[in-house]
Amino acid sequence: MYKRTLFGILIGLMLLASGCAVFTQSNQPVSAPGTGEAQRQTVATAAPTTPQQAEAVADGVVAQGAGGVPLQPLAPVSVAATAPTTIAAGTPVLSGTPQTPDDMFFEDYGVNPYLDTADDHLSTFAMDVDTASYTLTRSYLTSYSQLPPADAIRPEEFINYFKMDYPSPEGNEAFAIRMDAAPAPFGFDGHYLLRVGIQGRYIAPEDRTPALLIFVIDVSGSMDREDRLETVKDSLEILVGELREDDRVGIVVYSNQSRAVLEPTPASEKDTILVAINSLHPEGSTNVEDGLRLGYQMAEANKRDGTLTRVIVLSDGVANVGNTGADSILNTIKDGVQDGITLSTIGFGMGNYNDVLMEQLANDGNGNYYYVDTLREARRVFIYNLTGTLQVIAYDAKVQVDFNPDVTDRYRLIGYENRAIADQDFRNDTVDAGEVGAGHSVTALYELALEDGVPEGVVATVYIRYKDAETGEIVERSQDITVADLLPSIDDAPADFRLLAAAAEFSELLRESYWAQDGNYVDVLNLAAPLVDEMPDNADVAEFVELVRLAGRYVDSGG
């Protein structure tokens, strides 16, 4: 597989954290707020432009202000169609003239740089199990026959889309930690890919806490499409069949104004709930603030001790009536969290879709953000992920990886740019972090290089810290990985490790990462395609391989 040169490493060390995030509509910059810890948050899309800069890199000097030269698009590659496209059942693939999803709102969080352990040996981020970026990408590739905008790509959501078979925690522990590493199949010669896998405790559906679910549903005119409100209704019908009889369901709809369609009703009254769902129809403009206000009022008035209370927004994320600024909406959500009411968001539709707002709502609501593009994905979210979505096992969950400077020379976290936490805040339990549901796994991948001539020792120590949802206690756990644990070849790595390596590189190519500028989809396909036979019962793997093939074709055709 293609390996980048040592000189590429030297060039890479020139890259700086840009310290800004660019909010885009149809890829046009609108604003540039700063986010996260400056040192690790972003990397400028620029390379050394003079011999003096290159020499500074070679001498270990990081230049300041690389000029923001735009990263050039990846060179086209050809991907041979060795097998017919077999996207998983339920995923629409539209033929004919490609459609154009317009007015899509995404935010550019930059790309993490390589960090020298002598300067910064700690990497800290919030645990995250959102998957919307992956399913949005799938929709672009299959339904619109085009590559997604680079800003739509969050690599951690590609990595965490796939279900991992990590060992379960023992006893009453909330999490188990797994670490493994192998030579990196992409990137620089001599580098390793390190996997940090964290598995949450499984809770059987019959053992989870009863839930009060308040669905806040967008019925505005923008939802008047087959892939939006009708898919919402179909998804809710799927959900109703999976609820416990002691769960309760309330429904609020919003357009110009909001109104209650169904007061909290026991899930045992299935027919009553289905009648309310089937009565939904599109109308008017979008006042999401008013819908959330009424949804939280309903939740507050009906919550009970010993019951989970969650507001779930189903929308295309558009807000065009009322106070549409995020601050007002987010204040409502933050107040709800203080009262024990959490929020998840589920996105629908392409074109005029606001990914930024939907992600922000879920982040501040201590919930999850999903995007549903097919009924198959609806089943995944509303059936397979239901208990994990509702039953939180850990609040403010954080990960800190401490790389041993005596053994590890440099490292780079793939993704998690907008989940960065200041290193000194790892043990500050007032800092908001991630929430993890029952049975969920969280995975992070690092690229790293060892010091020359180091035969043994600890490569890195992973720490996790969280508030146990059951006991309310702060818990911290750690685990090491040593040089002796490193696998000799990527071929010796487990199949799911190689799958995640391919998914990470796929996301890096799609977002035009500096670190993948010499990569191509052929190499990703070469690593991923054999996994279809190795993991024959995993439909997600076969689908992923076809998505890589599609992306390669669109690059080759200029799509």
pLDDT in tens, the chain (559 residues): 433 433 333 333 333 333 333 333 333 333 233 333 333 333 333 333 333 333 333 333 333 332 333 333 333 333 333 333 334 444 433 333 334 576 788 999 999 999 999 999 999 999 988 999 999 999 999 988 999 999 999 999 999 999 999 999 998 899 999 999 999 999 999 999 999 999 999 998 889 999 999 999 999 888 887 668 999 999 999 999 889 999 999 999 998 889 999 999 999 999 999 999 999 998 877 788 889 999 999 999 999 999 999 999 999 876 554 554 557 778 889 888 988 999 999 999 887 788 988 998 899 999 999 999 888 999 998 888 777 888 999 999 999 999 999 999 999 999 999 999 999 999 999 999 999 999 999 999 999 999 999 889 999 999 999 999 999 999 999 999 999 999 999 999 999 999 999 999 999 999 999 999 999 999 999 999 999 999 999 999 999 999 999 999 999 776 6
Residues whose CB falls within 8 Å of the CB of residue 33, separated by 6 or more in sequence, listed in order: 20, 21, 23
Residues whose CB falls within 8 Å of the CB of residue 534, separated by 6 or more in sequence, listed in order: 495
Whole-prediction pTM: 0.82
Q: Which two tokens stand for residue 367?
A: 């919930």
**Do 367 and 411 belong to one domain?**
no
**Do 144 and 211 belong to one domain?**
no
pLDDT of residue 200: 96
Domain boundary among 368, 390, 412: 390
**Do 222 and 151 belong to one domain?**
no
**Do 550 and 411 belong to one domain?**
yes
Domain boundary among 390, 425, 456: 390
Query: What is the number of structural domains in the chain?
Result: 2
What one-letter code names the amino acid at 192?
Y
- CA–CA separation, 372 and 452 (whole Å): 47
Query: Angle at the Cα of 82 (from 77 to 87), degrees rounded to 5?
Result: 90
**Do 69 and 129 belong to one domain?**
yes
**Do 327 and 399 belong to one domain?**
no
- CA–CA separation, 262 and 398 (whole Å): 37
**Do 498 and 475 belong to one domain?**
yes
**Do 222 and 361 belong to one domain?**
yes
- CA–CA separation, 377 and 134 (whole Å): 11
Counting beta carbons within 10 angstroms of the beta carbon of residue 499, is it exposed (0 to 12), middle (13 to 18) or buried (19 or more)?
Answer: buried
- CA–CA separation, 92 and 293 (whole Å): 35
Q: What is the span of the domain harbouring residue 352?
A: 205-390
164-168 contacts at long range (C-beta below 8 A, 24 or more positions apart): 164/197, 164/199, 164/441, 164/443, 164/496, 164/500, 165/496, 166/197, 166/198, 166/199, 166/441, 167/199, 168/199, 168/201, 168/202
Sheet holding 441-450, edge to edge: 115-116, 408-413, 441-450, 192-200, 175-183
Domain boundary among 327, 356, 390: 390
